[in-house]
Amino acid sequence: MPTSSPNSSDALRRTVVDLLWRQWSALGVAGQAAPTGNVVLDPEALLLCASVFARHDARLFDEIADWLQRNGDWINLLRLVRLQREHDLGDLTVLGALAEHLTRRSTHAKWKALAGPPPAGAPPGPLFPHLPPPRQPDEIFLRWGWARGPLEVRGLSKVPRSPRPAAFLLQLRAFFGLQSRAEVVAWLLAHEAGHPAQIARETGYFRGSVQNVLNELEVSGLIHAARDGREKRFVADRGNWRFLLTWSPDRGGDFPRWRPWAAAFALLRRAHDLLASPAFAGASDDLKGIEFQRQLAPAVARLAGEWPRAGALLASGGAWDPGLLVPQLQRLLAEMEGD
C-alpha cells in the first residue's frame, strides 16, 4: 500500500487556498482567480473554511476582511453559528477578531454577537504561520490569541451584484431578505422537489422554519405540494422563477446546482489536520488506514448523504489508501465546482 507523501498536507492546503480564492473572487473579493461553474456558493460555509485555511495566505485573509467590511451585512450570523456547531467547522477565535474589527463601524453592529468576550489564558500564536512575527501587533487579534500586523483593508472589494450563478444565494437574499427563504428557494430550484426535513438538513436551518417557509410559498402558487406517504413533497415549477436567471440574456439555461459546501469543508479540515499530524506521519500504513476510517469515514458519509456523487469519488472499499487521499479530494472539489 502506498505511503502518504510528507508534503500531502501542504498539497491539500494549497488546493483549498486556491479554491477559496476562486470562490471569494466570484463573490466580489479583489482578485484574478478563475470563475466557478454553474454552482451556488455558500457564504457562511466559505467564511468558516476561510477562518482556518486563509491563515496560510495573508493576502487572501485580508481581502476577505475587506469584503466583510463592505458586505458583512449579507452574512447570516445565525446560520453561520448553526453550521459551525453542526459541522465543527471554522475557528471561533479568528472569527471573533474579525467580528470585533467589524463592530468598529456602526453599520456592522450585529457582529457584536461574535465579538466577545475573547478567550483568556494561552499566549498568542502566529495568525500567519508562514510569516515572521510582526513588529507591531494588531491589538484586536492579540486579544483573541493571534499575533499579526495591523489589519488594513484596501476598500477594493465589490458588492456581489455581478450576474454569476456563484452569487445566486446573495442575489436571493437581496430579493427576499436575510432569512431561510433564500436558501429554501435556491435548494428547490436546484433539485426541483424535496421534503422539508431534507431541505432543512442541507440548508442549515431548523425544520420548523423551513416548513413555515414552504407553506407560505405554497400559498403564493409559485410552488406546490404533493403527498409522498406521510410527508409533503414540495415542488418548484422552474418556469415561474426564470426571471431570476439574470446572467442569461434569454432567461434560459439551468438554475445553479446546490452543493453541500459545509460538509465538504468539514471533511477537508479533518483530512488536513490528520495529514499534518506528526504522530500520523510516523505511523505505519495499516495504522494510517485505521485512523482514516475512524476520523474521516463519518465526514464522508455525511457528505455523501447530501451529495451521493461524493461516495463514488471517495470510495475506500473499507480500506483507505493514504497515498490516494489528496488526489481523491482534489477530484471531489473539481466536480463540486464544475458544471
How does pLDDT run across 149-175, given as a tens digit for each residue? 999 988 888 888 667 899 999 999 999
Per-residue pLDDT averaged across 243-256, rounded? 85
Q: Which of 50-64, 167-181, 221-235 has the lowest mean pLDDT?
A: 221-235
Task: Confirm if 257 and 38 have CB atoms less than 8 A apart.
Answer: yes
Considering only 164-178, 227-241, 264-278, which range has the smallest mean pLDDT? 227-241
**Extents of the domains making up the chain:** 8-147, 165-244
116 vs 197, more confident: 197
Q: pLDDT above 70 covers what percent of the chain? A: 94
CA-CA distance, 210 to 203, in Å (whole number)? 9
Question: In this structure, are residues 178 and 169 in contact, taking their beta carbons and an 8 Å threshold?
Answer: no
Alpha-carbon torsion 228, 234, 240, 244, what sign?
negative
Q: What does the DSSP 8-state code read for residue 257? A: B
pTM: 0.93
Q: Is the pLDDT of residue 41 over 70?
A: yes
- pLDDT value, residue 60: 97
Quick one: fold of 165-244?
Answer: Arc Repressor Mutant, subunit A (1.10.10)
Instruction: Give the span between the Cα atoms of 272 and 269, in whole angstroms.
Output: 5
Alpha carbons 172 and 160: distance in angstroms, whole number: 12
